[in-house]
Structure 1
Amino acid sequence: MSGERTKRLKVIGEGTYPGGDYEKVKVTGEGKVSGDIRAVETKVTGEAHVKGKAAINQLKVTGQLTIDEELSSNEMNIIGELNVGSSIKANTGTVRGFLNSSGNAELEKLHVKGGVNINGLLNVGELIINLHGAPSKVVEIGGETIKVKSRSFFSRSQTLQAEVIEGDSIYLENTTAKLVRGSNVEIGPGCHIEKVEYRLTFTNRHKTISNAKKI
């Protein structure tokens, strides 16, 4: 590791700091970074704003993090809210709260309890969403395993809206989409799907799908 990357940034309270290469970034309170940032590890407790790109190997947020441009990461753990002004590329993401991106998002694995708003393609190997708190919206979802559930005993059920959902194994609840295409497709309660295309199996639990065909 270069000498530059051994720098550490620690914010307690409020402050604005320059971008750059860091080994560890820790924000407790409210911090702003006025440029691109690269870090091995970043931990936010409170609120942080990166006015540029971010490349972070391990990202942990308890509170809110806003990144004006693109984000690349290996591992993301979000409790609260992550807002990205461009695209997201990561290996794994665990979210208890909301993930918002103004561009495409690409992950190997994404588990969410809360919601997502992706203004583009969500390309993911394994996607598990337990809808909670507010409606979710994605332009298009492509993946291998896609599970969307909306079960809450204490609050109103939430919904996911998408143009197209395509994957190998798909299970959906409370989802509105124009097209769902997959190898094994199961449609659960609360769904409004205009068209289903399946290769192997199709299960229509609540008999709400009238336009389904094997391809």
Structure 2
Amino acid sequence: MNQVNAHRLPNGKISGSGTIIGGVYDHISVSGSGVLDGDVEANSISISGSGTARGNVRAGDLKVSGSAKFERNLSGGHHKVSGSTRVLGQMYTDEVHVSGSMKVLGLLHSQEVHVSGSLSCQGLKTNRLEVSGSLHSKADLEAEEFRGKGSFRVEGLLNANHLDFAFGGGSYAKEIGGEYIRVIQWHGFGFNRLLSWFIDLLGFRKYSHLRADLIEGTVVELDHADVKVVRGTRVVIGPNCKIGLVEFTDSLLVDPSSEVSQRVQM
């Protein structure tokens, strides 16, 4: 978002309870309980209390460390959420960081998305996606690059040119497609890895699997996965997988602990 000339713009501030009418602002600050009534455009908005926006909001920089509700569309540049945020419309940003909880009822479209908390959206389109928390997309997810660890649930197609993810809880996608696909179970490092081994030994994580109907890519590497069909040029099926059909072109490696019902070289 291009910065509007701040020398000619007013500021809006709520430190108790109040309302800011729609318009164009330099900076808006809500540290109490506030309402943005009407469409708002601002160079920056910060919400550390409780804020509700009743119109469309466009912000160059947005920081939410409290609770925010956007009843229509939200757009702008760099958005950072460390509190709780709900967007009832669509969301279009250059970059969004979520270390708290964020729910978008419409499509989330951003150049970069970083999640270390919890993100839920209707659908997601991005160039770069990094997750170290939980992600839920109720429709398709499209990303050039998707890296991280944690858990994801994609109820449509997860399409990523480069997918490298380590899941620590059950993860699901109806279909996964891309060039390089590597989805494995995460065991941590050092003490966390030892603790993870102990949890596996007790059998507490036997349901921590990746589930999908179809996974298709040039290079596919999986473990702890339950998948109906896997297609790829080079396929590696690691430990504790249950695969219905594997169709491969060049090579297929299967761990002895995994079950593949049918193998077909194309």
**TM-score tier after normalising by the smaller chain length:** over 0.9
In the alignment, structure 1 residue 88 sits paired with structure 2 residue 124: yes
Return the match for 2:79 from 29, 38, 42. 42
From 176, 180, 195, give the equivalent of 1:141.
176
Q: Does 1:114 align with 2:150?
A: yes
Give distance in 2, aligned partners of 1:54 and 1:210. 43
Q: What is the aligned counterpart of 1:197 among 247, 252, 256?
A: 247
> Is contact 2:3-2:43 (8 Å) kept?
no
Normalised by the size of structure 1, how large is the TM-score?
Answer: 0.94
Matches within 5 A, 1:122-133: 122-132=158-168
SS of residue paired to 2:69: strand
Among 220, 224, 227, the alignment partner of 1:170 is: 220
Q: How many residues align?
A: 213
Structure 2 CA distance for aligned equivalents of residues 196 and 88 of structure 1:
29
Query: Relative to 1, partners in 2 of residues 1:24 and 1:151: Cα closer, same or farther, differing over 3 Å?
Result: closer
Structure holding more strand per residue: 1
Q: Which runs of 5+ in 1 are unaligned?
A: none
* Counterpart for residue 60 of structure 1: 97
Q: State, as a whole percentage, how many aligned pairs show the same letter.
A: 30
Which structure's CA Rg is the greater one? 2
SS of the residue 1:35 aligns to: coil
Instruction: Indicate whether 1:214 and 2:265 are aligned.
Output: yes
Moved more, 3-12 or 112-121: 3-12
Superimposed CA distance per residue, residues 31-89 of structure 1 (whole angstroms, 9 cap, x where no aligned partner):
111210111110001111111100011110111110010010111111111100x2210
Whether the 8 Å contact between 2:149 and 2:186 is mirrored in structure 1 is no
* Structure ranking higher in helix proportion: 2
Paired residue secondary structure (1:87): strand
User: Residue by residue, what CA displacement relative to the aligned partner does 1:136-159 show, whole Å, maximum 9, x if unpaired?
Assistant: 111000011111111423343621
The higher-RCO structure (CA 8 Å, 6+ apart) is: 1
Question: 2:38 corresponds to which residue?
Answer: none
Give the counterpart letter for 2:265 in structure 1: K
CA shift, 1:10, in A, is 1.0
Q: What's the secondary structure of 1:209's corresponding residue?
A: strand
Change (3 A) 1:2 1:74: same
Q: Corresponding residue for 1:187?
A: 237
Equivalent-residue separation in structure 1 for 2:62 and 2:179 (angstroms): 34
